[in-house]
Amino acid sequence: MDNSDVSKALYEIADYLELQGVAFKPQAYRKAARNIEMLPGEIADLLNEDRLGEIPGVGKAIADKITELMKTGHLEYLEELRAKIPQGVIDLLSIPEIGPKTAMVLYRQLGIEDVDSLKKAIFEHRLSGLKGFGVKTEERILRGIRVFESRGGRIMLGNAFHSANKLIDYLRSKHADATVSVAGSLRRMKETIGDIDILVATSKPGEIMESFVSYDSVEDILAQGDTKSSVRLINGIQVDLRAVLESSYGAALQYFTGSKEHNVELRKLAISKEMKISEYGLFDRVSDELVAGADEAEVYDSLGLQYIPPELRENRGEIEVAMKRELPMLIEYDDLLGDLHCHTEWSDASGTIEEILRKASEHGYEYVGITDHSKSLRIARGLSEERLRKQIDVIHSLREETGGPFLLAGSEVDVLEDGKLDYPNEILEQLDYAIMSIHSKFNLDERSMTERIVTAMSNDVVKIFAHPTGRIIGQRLPYTFDLEKVIESAIDQDVALEINSFPERLDLNDTNVRRAVDAGAKIAIGSDAHDPSQLAYTRFGIATARRGWAKKSDVMNTLPLDTLRKMWGI
């Protein structure tokens, strides 16, 4: 019974209460559930120390329920709720267009408890017989089911980024006088995106909406109004477009960037200052006068806050810190001076060392490290000792003849089950540095895995621990190990923890970056490029660093080459 089991139960309670039409309690349970999800430590420890009440949103009633659940593995209150309404009705809530009211009508009047029976009922036109339901409603719900079935989860940041930029370019090309910007979770650079939000400032909203819904890749128009339209693209991604006047562009950008939780806090803050905030601006509550609207930074300033970068807007304490004007100076998107994690055709990637070098030069880097796979990783054509020696020679000779970024000879070395590295030390010592990573034996118990990692870190040639948790978004959970101990060891042994910039990895993730940085560990942002074009992936790694509150000084490869070599022995 861990943090996520507890928050899952609380979310379930919230859903049931919402179905029953209970007011306010659902929000209370969800708030508690969210805060437990974000808890840095184990909720079991808080329970043992009788400190559950310290979790924001957890009062006596919820604390009692958590206690019962954790001590007995059973929660009577939840069981009672489950007995009243079948669980399938809750699943209906994840279909767009179906909220609690609709779900309950479908269940009570037609006995619908799952998506399939809902589809059947629609095809038999049984919904249109219900009070308040017409043919259009049936069609709308059917569209919702299609969206639900096609999305199969959230989209990776890298994919959404690409789709959004293409669409934004299209809108800009057709409406040169309009201001077009991405908003929503994409602007916050969250690792996965639910849908794409785009904001336009224009005096002619109708024309923008017309262009938007007639975009080539639009499959289905879900809604079309003067200020707001929604479409589904052929790749299944939903895009919402909002249009506002220039005078409220800043407030709208703030509003549509979210997160929802951040905005809720901001509105409460506005109320406490006798103001109100909406997508049209920040207004004086009494006189209704506009306080700020055209400029996003002004909205924050007028609320007495330091400007909060989009990546921090998750209601994870940023508002309180901004109030004290103590937000960190986050690493910027052009702060990297090199990339220390790149693959070539020597192992499992495409592209030559020379091509990587050229790309690194285009990125304006001072240095770039070649780190192909080590010998045990046969599936990735890991380099034998002999080939690695040869590659080091090639790198040394290329280093002599080219200008441009300085070429470093590295290796992404597998950590074997016992914590030893995949090459003997006499070869490793010829490298400028090694990256350690785990690509096998993911199923060790927590103690063995932690021991394995800490042992590998103690090797002096190791400077970076790549994709430290091993998770792959939507495919593989992190392996089990003690992250706190690994962070400690990384600090002791002068090993940087990587943010792997590959869209499906982004590992460390934002919250773990924050833990590492808070503890004083150093971060390395690597592209893990398997094609020269993928050097550009570091954009997503930097975004993740920013979401983890990392400063430039926390990141190893923002250092100039000579400092990097001196400080890190590379």
Partner DNA sequence: GCCGTTTTCGGCCCGACTGTTTTCAGTCG
Using CB under 7 A, list all residues that contact DNA.
Answer: 23-25, 27-29, 31-32, 56-63, 95-103, 128, 131-137, 139-140, 144, 184, 194-195, 197, 223-228, 238, 240, 256, 258, 260, 263-264, 267-268, 271-272, 276-280
Rg (CA), the chain: 26
CB of 418 to DNA, least distance (A): 47
CA–CA dist 526, 519 (Å, integer):
21
Strands (E), 391-432: 406-409, 412-414
Looking at the Cβ atoms of 34 and 441, the one nearer to DNA is 34
CB of 139 to DNA, least distance (A): 7
CA–CA dist 505, 160 (Å, integer):
15
Looking at the Cβ atoms of 170 and 280, the one nearer to DNA is 280
Strands (E), 410-563: 412-414, 434-437, 462-465, 496-500, 523-526
Strand partners, 122: none
Looking at the Cβ atoms of 151 and 358, the one nearer to DNA is 151
CB of 278 to DNA, least distance (A): 4
Looking at the Cβ atoms of 128 and 458, the one nearer to DNA is 128
Contact 525, 501 (CB under 8 A): yes
CB of 65 to DNA, least distance (A): 8
Contact 249, 279 (CB under 8 A): no
Phi, psi of 278 (to 5 degrees): -145, -175
* DSSP assignment letter at 555: B
CB of 68 to DNA, least distance (A): 12
Cis amide linkage into residue 416, ω under 30° from 0: no
Looking at the Cβ atoms of 151 and 485, the one nearer to DNA is 151
The candidate with the shortest Cα–Cα distance to 41, out of 8, 15, 88, 2, is: 2
CB of 542 to DNA, least distance (A): 25
Looking at the Cβ atoms of 32 and 529, the one nearer to DNA is 32
Strands (E), 195-246: 196-201, 218-224, 228-233, 238-244
Both tokens assigned to 374: 């080590």
CB of 111 to DNA, least distance (A): 17
Looking at the Cβ atoms of 195 and 510, the one nearer to DNA is 195
Contact 93, 120 (CB under 8 A): no
